[in-house]
Structure 1
Amino acid sequence: MIRVVQIALSALLFSLSSVSSAADDANDVSTDIEKITVQGSTTANTKPVGTFGSPVSNLEYDPRVDLQSRNMAEAQADVTIRGGIFENTGFRVGSATLLDPQTGHYFAEIPIAQEMLSNAKVLTGADNALFGVNSSVGTVSRDWTLINTAGSASIGAGNNNFTLQRVHSGVSMALADSTDWTIGFEGEYSRSESDGTIDNGDHDFQRASGRIQLVGSSSQTDLFFGSQEKFFGWPNMYTPFNVNETEDLKTRLLLLNHKQHYSRDSTFEMSAYNRRNTDHYVFSRENPEIFEAFHETDVTSIALSGRHAQTASFALNYSTQFITDSIESTTLENNFTSREYYKLSVLPEYRMSLQDDQQLTFRLGAAFDDTNRDDSQASLIGDVTWNTINADDTSQTLYLSYAEASQVAGYTAIGGSDSGGLFRSNYDLERETTKNIELGLALDRETWRLDSAIFYRQDDDLADWTYSLSSTSARSANPVDINTLGVELLAVKRLDNAEIITSYTFLDKSENYGATDIDASFYALNYPDHRVTLGVIWRPTDIVEVRVDNEWRKQEENILRNGDDDALFTHLTLKMSPSQFNGLDIMLAADNLWGESFEEVPGTPGRGEQYTISAAYNW
C-alpha cells in the first residue's frame, strides 16, 4: 500500500516537471487558459449553525440533494441524489473519488476546510458515469481553490451549551525571480461542542487541516493533510430499539493533486490519496458492554481524468481510477477484508457549429468497472447537447442523455454475519447496475436562470437496508429492483439588492424486492414525493445581510416513522458588518426555526432547534 502511494507521488511530481515545461513552450497557452469563473450557490446560506463547516454543510437545502442526518448534517449525514441511497452517492475531490469500504455512512468524513474547496457540483447522468467511481446515481464534486493571502478567526456560542472556536489563514507569494510561479500555504483549526438539540444528542468535534500549493502559468499542485475527530450521540441512531447510541470517529487524509492545462482547451488532473478512518460504535451508552464495534478502514488510490482536444471539433474526455482498501473489524468476518477497484471511462466528443451561434455536441463512449472480488461491468454513456448563444450573451441549452453505471456493495452489507446481529449482511448481493435517461433544458438570462430536467432511472440489484417486524436484527441488507421517475426545476432570480433561489422536485418509485418478509425500507423507499426549496439573500444596507433557506417536503409513508410525513425547515442568518470595525462580522443564526421534529431517517428522532451568535474577524 505504501508502494502505491510512492508510485503515485512519483508520477505526479514527474508530470509537474515534464508537462509544465512542455506547456511553457507552447505559443500563447496561458492566454487561452486564464479564465475567471463565477460560481453560484444553490443555497442562500454557506455556513452551518451548530458547528463548523464541512463538505456536507447546507446540502440539506440544495434542491439537487436530499440529506438525511442523524444529530446534524456534520455529525452523520446520508447524502442521496435523485432518490438514490447514501451508498449511491460519491464524493470527488480533484480527480479522485474518496471511498470508505465499510459503509457509505462515512463517505462524507472528509477533513478539508471549506475555504480550500469550490462550491459543490452535483454530477448526474452522463457526467456521473464518466467521473464517478462506485457511485451509480450521483457524485458531489469539488475542486481545489487558489490560496489567497487572507484569514479569519471566529468564536461562537448558543443554546444547548454550544461553543465554537475557529482560525483559518492563507498566504500566497511569488517565488524568487519568477513572475509565473507562486507558492501558497494554508491552514485551519476548528472545534465545537454542545449538549445537543435533544437529550443524548451531544457532540465534540475538532479538525486540523493544511496544504501547500504551487501555481504556475498553466498548472496547480496541492499537497494536503487533514485530521478530524468527532464524538457524537443520538437516540436510535441506527437501530429502532429505543437506545442512546454513540459514534467516535477519527479520519486522516493525505492527498496530492496536480492539474495541468496544455495546448488549447486541453487539461488533465491527477490525484493520489491515502485515507484512514477509525470508528468506535456503541449501541447503548449506558451499557456499552451490550454491543460495541471497532472498525478501521484504509484506502489508497490514484486517479487521472481530463479532456484532450484533438481539433476544434473533436475531443476525448476520459477518467480512470485505481483504489485498494482494507478493513480491520471486530464485527465483520475475516473472509472479506480487502478489495481492489478499477474504473476506466472514455467519452469521445464531437462538436458541430450551426448557424446563428448555435452548437451541437455529440458524446458517445463507455465505462468499464471491475474489482478483484466481483464480476466486471461495461456501461454505455452518451448525450446530445444543443447550445445557443444569443446576441445579448444570454443562452439556452437543450440536452438528451443516456447513461449506465454500476457499483459493488460495502463491507457492512456483504462482509458481516448473515444469520444474526444488529446489522445482517447478505452474501448473495451482486453488482448493482443503473440505467438513466433524461431530458433537460437550461435558460440563462441577464437577471434570471432556469434549470430543468425530467429523468427515468432503472436500478437493478440495489443493496438496500430493510426491516422485518419478526426479526431481531435492526437492519438487513437485501437487493431490490427500483424504477424512478423524477422532475427537477431550479430557478434563480437576481435583483438589485437581493437574490431568490427556488426549486421543485418530484419523485415516483416502483419497487420489487422479490421477498414477502420485508416490512419497511430505511433508505431506498425513504424519499420525498414532493419537495420545494426557497432561498433568499437580501442586503438592505451596506452593513446588513439576511440569508434564509426554507425546505418543505412531503415524504413517502413509512411504518417506522413516528409523526408526520411532511415537514418545513428554515435556516436563517443575520450578518452585521459595522463600518466602524473593518473586517468584523457579527452573525445571529437559527436552524430548524419552527421546531420541526420530522424523522429524516424512519425511527430516528429529528434534530431540534439551534440558535447561535458568533463573531468573525477577517483579514
Structure 2
Amino acid sequence: MIRIVQIALPALLFSASTFSSAIDETDNSDEESHIEKITVEGSATANNKPVGTFGSLVSNLEYDPRVDLQSRNMAEAQADVTIRGGIFENTGFRIGSATLFDPQTGHYFAEIPIAQEMLSNANVLTGVDNALLGVNSSVGTISRKWTPIKTSGSVSLGAGNNNFNLQRIHSGVTLALVDFTDWTIGFEGELSRSESDGTIENGDHDFQRASGRIQLVGPSSQTDLFFGAQEKFFGWPNMYTPFNVNETEDLKARLFILNHKQYYAQDSLFEISTYYRRHRDHYVFSRENPDIFEAFHETDVKSIALSGRHLQTVSFALNYSAQFIADGIESTTLENNFTSRHYYKLSVLPEYRMDLQNDRQLTYRLGATFDDTNRDGSETSLIADITLNTINADDTSQTVYLSYAQASQVPGYTAIGGSNTSGLFRSNYNLARETTKNIELGLALDRDTWRLDSAIFYRQDDDLTDWTYSLSSSSARSANPVNIETLGLELLAIKRLDNTEIITSYTFLNKSEDYATADIDASFYALNYPDHRVTLGVIWRPTSMVEFRVDNEWRKQEENTLRNGDDDALFTHLTLKISPSQLKGLDIILAADNLWDESFEEVPGTPGRGEQYTLSATYHW
C-alpha cells in the first residue's frame, strides 16, 4: 500500500510546494493511490494573522520563504507578490480551478474579497505545476481551495498605536438534509473593517469587507456559491512615483464565484469554476492637490475554468486544465482602441507510473500547454518532469525530481494601452508575448521530526515586461521588454520538538539582464530582488494557555539607483497569545510587526512601513 506523505505538526502542516505535483492540486488523497505524493496543507510561516488589519490572501506572505512580497503601505493595502525573482505580473492567484485576473495591472491581482476561513492555506505553484494550472502567470501561481464549512464562529475587537482599530465577525453553520442521506448544506459569512492613521505620515487606511457563501456537500462532491465585496482607501508617500508627493488609492472590488468539485471512479475528479469580478480604482497623484493628476479605471472579468485528473489505469493518468477569460476596461487615462481581450488556455499532461524494487516509484509526465488571445499570437509550450520517490522501512522517504517547463503570458493594459509619450506611466505599443523556460533539480527528505526541501533552478525570461526609469526622462515609469537569465537556490527545513516548531529557509538569486538599450538607469521590478534571503519562524507553547509565534526575515537586496537607505534589512513579526482556561473560547493577542522599525524600501523610492503594535481579543464558538 502506497500512502500520501504529509508533515503533521500540531499547528503547522507544510511541505514546500516546489516539490508538489499537479496531482496534489486536484486533491488526490486516497490512501490507496499508486504513488506517494507530497502535499501542501499549511502555512510556511509561524504567524497566521496579520498585524494592523484583517487577513487577506497576501497576509504573512512577506515572511513566506517561497515568495517575495513588496508592499506599499502594508501588505494588505497594496502588495506585489513575486515568486523566484519574477515580477508582480508574473504571479497569478487561483481559487478552485480559476485564475482570478485584473487586466489593467498586476498591482490589483490580489484584490480578492474572500474571508480566509473559507480557503485553504496557500500552495505556491512553480515549474510544471504552474504551467499546467496557471493562466497568464509565467513564473508562479498562489493557489487556494474552498474549505468545508464548519459550525463555528468568532468575533474580534482590536486596537493599537497609530489610532488603529479593528472589528470583525465571522460565522458558519452546517445542516443535514433530512431527505438526502450524507448531504449537508452550509452557510458562512463575515464582516470586517479596520482603520488607522498609518505607520508613517500620510499612510492612513480605511478598509471594509463583506463576504458570504452557500455550500452543498454530498458523498462525492462539493459546490460553493460565493459573493464578496471590499472597499479600501489608503495613502502612502511616493506610492508609485518618485516625485515626493502623497498619493492615494480608493479601490472597490466585487466578486461572484460558483465552484463545483466532483470525485468519480477511483482517484479521479474534476473541478469547474466560473466567476465575475468587477474592480474600480480611483488613483490620486497628490492628495493635497488632486486636480494635478487623477485616474479612474473600471475592469470587468468573466471566466470559466475546468481542471481535473482522470485515472485510466494504475499506471496511467491524465492531468488537464482549461480556462477562458473575457475582460474589459473603462479608463480615463488608457487609450480607447485596446479595451477588451479574450484569453484561452488549454493544458494536457499525461502521467505514467512505475513500481520499482525496494519501495521506489518512478513517475514521469510529458505534456503541453496552448495559450492564445484574440489580440496576440498563440504559443504552444512543452512541460515535463520525472520523479523518483523512495519509502524507507521506517516510513521516512526521499524524493528526487528533474523538471522542464515553458510558459507564456501577455502584458496588461497599463503596459500597452496608455500613452507612450507623456504621463506618469508610459506604455509601449511594441510589447510582445512574454515566454519563460524553467529547468530545475530538486531533493526532498522527509523524516519523523524534520523535513528538508531543496531545489536549484535556471529560468530564462524573454521579452519580460518591466517598468524602468531613466534619469534623462520626466516619466516615473516606462514599460520596456527585457531578457533575463535567473539562477536560483532554495533550501527550506522544518524541525519539530516537544512544544516547539521551527521553520527556516535560505534562498539565493542571481540575474543577468539585457534591455537592448542604454537609456535605462534603474528597474523598479525585474531587478528589485534579494540576492540572499534568510527566514526563521518559531512557534513555542510553554503552557497550554500561552503561545509565542515569531517570524524573522533577513535579506540582502540587489543595489538599485532609486533606493534610499540600506540594501539589507531585518523584519520581525511577533505574537503572544493568551487563552485563559477560565474563559473558554477567548484569545487575547498582543502582536507587533516590524519590531525593529526597519525603514527598508521594498519598492525602490517608496518608503518602507513603520512599526505596528496591536492588542486584540477574539471570542470563538
TM-score (normalizing by structure 1):
0.94
Which residue of 2 is the match for residue 66 of structure 1? 68
Shift in Å, 1:36: 13
Matching residue of 2:256: 254
Residues 1:604 and 1:36: Cα distance change in structure 2 (over 3 Å):
closer
Determine the structure 1 residue equivalent to 2:361.
359
Correspondence for 1:21:
none
Give the equivalent residue in structure 2 for 1:555: 557
Tell me if structure 1 keeps the 8 A contact 2:500–2:538.
yes
**In the alignment, which residue of structure 2 is the partner of 1:244?**
246
The DSSP-based 3-state class of the residue aligned with 2:415 is helix
2:138/2:407 contact within 8 Å kept: yes
CA contact (8 A) 1:200 1:244 kept: yes
1:165-180 paired onto structure 2 within 5 Å: 165-180=167-182
1:590 aligned residue (564, 589, 592): 592
Q: What is the DSSP-based 3-state SS (H/G/I as helix, E as strand, rest coil) of the residue aligned with 1:200? A: coil
Aligned-pair distance for 1:39? 2.0
Q: Given the alignment, which residue of 388, 401, 410 partners 2:390?
A: 388
Quote how far apart the aligned CAs of 1:569 are. 0.0
Give the alignment partner of residue 309 of structure 2, picking from 307, 310, 316.
Answer: 307
Distance, in Å, in 2 between the alignment partners of 1:351 and 1:174 is: 40
Question: After superposition, where does 1:199-210 map in structure 2 within 5 Å?
Answer: 199-210=201-212
Q: Find the counterpart in structure 2 of residue 143 from structure 1.
A: 145
Give the 3-state SS of the residue equivalent to 2:414 in structure 1. Answer: helix
| Structure 2 unaligned blocks of 5 or more | 1-28
Give secondary structure in 2 for the equivalent of 1:274.
strand
Q: Which residue of 1 aligns with 2:49?
A: 47
Distance (Å, rounded) in 2 between the aligned partners of 1:104 and 1:429: 16
State the one-letter code of the partner of 1:419.
T
d(CA) in 2 for partners of 1:99, 1:61:
24
From 154, 157, 169, the equivalent of 1:155 is 157
SS at match of 1:496: coil
Deviation of the 1:32 alpha carbon: 7.0
Q: Which amino acid aligns with 2:144?
A: R
| Pairwise CA distance, 1:411 | 0.0
- Count of equivalent residues: 590
1:97-496 aligned at under 5 Å gives the runs 97-496=99-498
Q: Is the 8 A contact 2:42 2:122 kept in 1?
A: no
Q: What is the deviation of 1:357?
A: 1.4
Contact kept? 2:556, 2:569, Cα under 8 Å: yes
Superposition deviation, residue 40 in structure 1? 2.9
Q: Which amino acid aligns with 2:219?
A: S
1:453 deviates by 0.3
CA distance in 1 between counterparts of 2:185 and 2:79 reads 35
Alignment partner of 1:527 out of 526, 529, 544? 529
Displacement of 1:177: 2.9
SS in 1 for 2:52: coil
Deviations 1:538-576 (A, max 9, x none): 000000000000000000000100000000000000000
Structure 2 CA distance for partners of 1:38 and 1:379, relative to 1, 3 Å: closer
Contact 1:45 1:549 (C-alpha < 8 Å) held by counterparts:
yes
Cα separation, partners in 2 of 1:173 and 1:37, compared to 1, 3 Å: farther
**8 Å Cα contact 1:32-1:264 kept in structure 2:** no
Q: CA deviation at 1:394?
A: 1.3
Residues 407 and 437 of structure 2 are in contact (CA less than 8 Å); yes or no, is this contact kept in structure 1?
yes
Q: Report if the CA contact (8 A) 2:347-2:369 is conserved.
A: yes
1:524 and 1:30, CA in 2 relative to 1: closer, same or farther beyond 3 A?
Answer: closer
One-letter amino acid of the counterpart of residue 289, structure 1: D
Q: Write the letter of the residue equivalent to 2:397.
A: S
In 2, the alpha carbon distance for the partners of 1:393 and 1:208 equals 45
Secondary structure of the equivalent of 1:412?
A: helix
**2-structure distance, mates of 1:30, 1:95:** 20
Flag the structure with higher helix content: 1
CA distance in structure 1 between the partners assigned to 2:31 and 2:379 by the alignment: 42
Equivalent AA in structure 2 for residue 101 of structure 1 = P
Deviation at 1:38, TM superposition (A): 8.0
Counterpart CA distance in 1 for 2:215 and 2:40 is 21
Q: Which amino acid aligns with 2:386?
A: V
Q: Which residue of 2 aligns with 1:56?
A: 58
Q: Are the aligned partners of 1:432 and 1:460 in contact in 2 as well (CA < 8 Å)? A: yes
Distance 1:132 1:466 in 2: 26
Contact kept in structure 2, 1:247 and 1:280, CA below 8 Å = yes
2:17 is matched with none
CA 1:191–1:250 in structure 2 vs 1: closer, same or farther (change >3 Å)? same
Shift of 1:178: 2.9
Provide the C-alpha distance between the structure 1 equivalents of 2:414 and 2:102, rounded to a whole number of angstroms: 11
| Contact map agreement 1:522 1:601 (CA 8 A) in 2 | yes
SS in 2 for 1:289: coil
| Distance in 2 of aligned mates of 1:61 and 1:564 | 19
- Deviation for aligned residue 1:30: 9.6
Q: Give the TM-score normalised by structure 2.
A: 0.94
Do 2:40 and 2:123's aligned partners in 1 also have CA atoms closer than 8 Å? Answer: no
Give the Cα separation in 2 of the matches to 1:559 and 1:347: 44
1: CA distance between counterparts of 2:492 and 2:224?
34
1:434·1:458 contact (CA, 8 Å) conserved in 2? yes
Helix, strand or coil for the counterpart of 1:290? coil
SS of alignment partner, residue 419 of structure 1: coil
1:602 maps to what in 2?
604
Deviations 1:335-377 (A, max 9, x none): 1000000000000000000012110001000000000000000
Distance 2:166 2:562 in 1: 35
Instruction: Return closer, same or farther for 1:48/1:503 CA change in 2, 3 Å cut-off.
Output: same
Contact persistence 1:499–1:536 (CA under 8 A): yes
Give structure 1 stretches of 5+ with no counterpart: 1-28
Whether the 8 Å CA contact 1:463–1:479 is kept in 2: the answer is yes
Q: CA deviation at 1:50?
A: 0.7
The one-letter code of the counterpart of 1:39 is E
Q: Is the 8 A contact 1:30 1:218 kept in 2?
A: no
SS at match of 1:54: coil
**Deviation at residue 179 of structure 1 after TM alignment:** 3.0
Q: What is the rounded CA distance, in whole Å, between the counterparts of 1:96 and 1:76 in structure 2?
A: 22
Task: Report deviation, 1:235.
Answer: 0.1
Matched residue of 1:514: which SS?
coil
What is the RMSD of the two structures over their aligned residues, measured on CA atoms? Answer: 1.3
Judged with a 3 Å threshold, the aligned counterparts in structure 2 of structure 1 residues 36 and 242 are, in CA distance, closer, same or farther, namely closer
CA distance in 1, matches of 2:127, 2:571: 29
Cα distance, 1:31 vs. partner?
9.6
Q: Distance in 1 between matches of 2:40 and 2:567?
A: 38
Q: Deviations over 1:492-513 (max 9, x none)?
A: 0011101000000000000000
| Structure 1 residues 30-58: Cα deviation after superposition (integer angstroms, max 9, x where no partner) | 9979x998823210000000100000000
In 2, the alpha carbon distance for the partners of 1:559 and 1:135 equals 28
1:505-547 per-residue CA deviation (whole Å, 9 max, x = no partner) reads: 0000000000011000000000000000000000000000000
Q: Partners of 1:415 and 1:302 in 2: how far apart? A: 25
- Aligned to 1:226, the other structure's residue is in SS state strand
